[in-house]
Structures are given as structure tokens and as C-alpha cells.
Amino acid sequence: MSRAYLLKVYLRPDEEIEEEVRRTVVSYRFSSLSRGIHVHVEEGVVTLDGHVRDTLLIPLAVRLARAVEGVVDVEPRIGGEPTGGHGRGTSR
């Protein structure tokens, strides 16, 4: 495998990465959240910004975004409320 081939993924334009993350991760996998998550890419670093109802989905969104070719890192800046009965302060 050549060095140029290995570095090729880092040469992908930010706009192209942003479109793929928006299309294949946010809109496709999290269609109910697509209006709550905004995608921005700079130098291969994806920023996921916004507010969602179910914070349990945030780690999945980060993993899927990291899997997109050309992504160097992912910065999740997503807030929300934990769901699924695992929140703090729940009395039984």
C-alpha cells in the first residue's frame, strides 16, 4: 500500500465530508433528530452541534461520523435530556 493511498482520505474536501455526515448519519440514521443536530467540518474535524431529546443516541452518532472517510475527529457539542429511566434523581 502506498503512502499516497493512505493519505488520500485526509485530502477529502470538508464540504464533501459534511454532506456525507449529514446525509448518511444525521438524516438517514437519526431522521427524527436531523433538525436538532447541525454538522460542521473544518480540516476533517466534524462538529455535531445541537440539542436532542435522547442523549443515549449521541455516542452512536459520534461513532458513525468517525467512520466516514476523511474524518479526522468528531467533537460532539450536543445537549439534551437522558431517557430510558436511567436519569439521576429517579426515585423508586
Better-scored residue on pLDDT, 52 or 41? 41
Look up the pTM and report it: 0.75
| Pick from 85, 87, 76, 86: nearest CA to 33 | 76
What's the pLDDT at 18?
Answer: 97
50, β-bridge pairs? 37, 78
Query: Do 29 and 5 touch, CB atoms closer than 8 A?
Result: no
Residue 92 pLDDT: 36
Give residue for cell 436511567.
Answer: 86
Nearest to 26 by CA among 43, 2, 46: 46
pLDDT class of 13 with cuts at 50, 70, 90: very high
Q: What is the pLDDT of residue 6?
A: 62
At residue 91, the pLDDT reads 42
> Which of the pair, 85 or 33, is modelled with greater confidence?
33
